[in-house]
Amino acid sequence: MNTSGRYRTQFADFQLIQDEILKFAGMKPPELMSYFKEHPADALYTIPHPAGGTVFVGKKGGQAFSRISASYLESLGSSRLDFDSHAFTDEFEKLYLEWIISGKTLDQTTLRHLLDDAAARRRSAHISLQHYIPCSVVFAETPPEFEVGPVKFRRMLDFLSEHLSLIKNRADAARYSPGQGPQGERSKRSQADFLVQELELFFPTFKWIASIVIPACDSSVSKERAHRAVQSSLDLLKLFLSGMRKSGIRQAHVLGIRQT
């Protein structure tokens, strides 16, 4: 599809979204409940209102947001790969609502500006992460570390000796830092407790840990790239082994630490 055709299609979807929002906004609560009873899928597609509450967009509106996002990201070329499509759509939805509430008009031109602003917001959240992935590598524990391409492998005991106290301290700081209400406090405590539990109980079950730095992108994309890189390195190691030693090489799941 050429550029002008893409813009027309995006704007048609935008108009569909507006129609769906107005449809649900015009329903009184009993009518809305009756409608959702007959069309339960429509109740699942919502946007949080900045002032609180929920704006219903329905299944058609939600799918239109996704189509616009997919079309826009495709137009970015290879840089689109740095974006999580779901995270971008969420950002686009929130920004769209902000624009509408502020009274801005949307046409084909301003819609492109809106999408560019959503992309800029997502890029501002892109960070470089160093990922640590426990691995089972059937090697002697000397040397204590080695590299395969961009992936560095270290003995788990050395890693925990160096990092465990620091990570525990950071988890404690996160656990007791000011939160956004009781639910936010519980969420932070739960995440901090899970992090420490992984380090103390899960990580020591592996003798090796792989680490790799992934350049700035969405965190979910970073995680996927880290797993692929580590798996590629492990596959290279397997080329030099055979039989049972090869079958014992594998990776566990990921832990990402922000690069400073």
Q: What local confidence, expressed as pLDDT, does residue 204 receive?
A: 83
Please give the structure tokens belonging to residue 138.
Answer: 């059937």
Q: What local confidence, expressed as pLDDT, does residue 245 receive?
A: 57
Q: What local confidence, expressed as pLDDT, does residue 66 receive?
A: 96
Q: Supply the pTM of this predicted model.
A: 0.80
Q: Which helix (H) or strand (E) holds 258?
A: strand 255-258
Pair type for strands 46-48 and 151-155: unpaired
Q: What local confidence, expressed as pLDDT, does residue 251 receive?
A: 74
Distance (Å, rounded) from C-alpha 30 to C-alpha 74? Answer: 41
Residue 10 sits at φ, ψ, to 5 deg, of -60, -45
Q: What local confidence, expressed as pLDDT, does residue 255 receive?
A: 47
DSSP-based three-state secondary structure for 217: strand
Please give the structure tokens belonging to residue 132.
Answer: 């640590």
- Is the pLDDT higher at 136 or at 156? 156
How do residues 83-115 score in pLDDT, each as one tens digit? Answer: 999 999 999 999 999 998 888 888 888 889 999
Distance (Å, rounded) from C-alpha 54 to C-alpha 49? Answer: 5
How do residues 145-176 score in pLDDT, each as one tens digit? Answer: 889 999 999 998 898 888 777 777 766 666 56
Place 256 in a pLDDT band, splitting at 50, 70 and 90: very low
Mean pLDDT score of the chain: 84
Question: Which of 56-60, 108-112, 133-137, 194-198 comes out lowest in average pLDDT?
Answer: 194-198
Place 140 in a pLDDT band, splitting at 50, 70 and 90: low
How do residues 6-62 score in pLDDT, each as one tens digit? Answer: 889 999 999 999 999 999 999 999 999 999 999 999 999 999 998 888 999 999 999
Listed in sequence order, the residues at least 6 apart from 90 whose beta carbon sits closer than 8 Å to its beta carbon are none
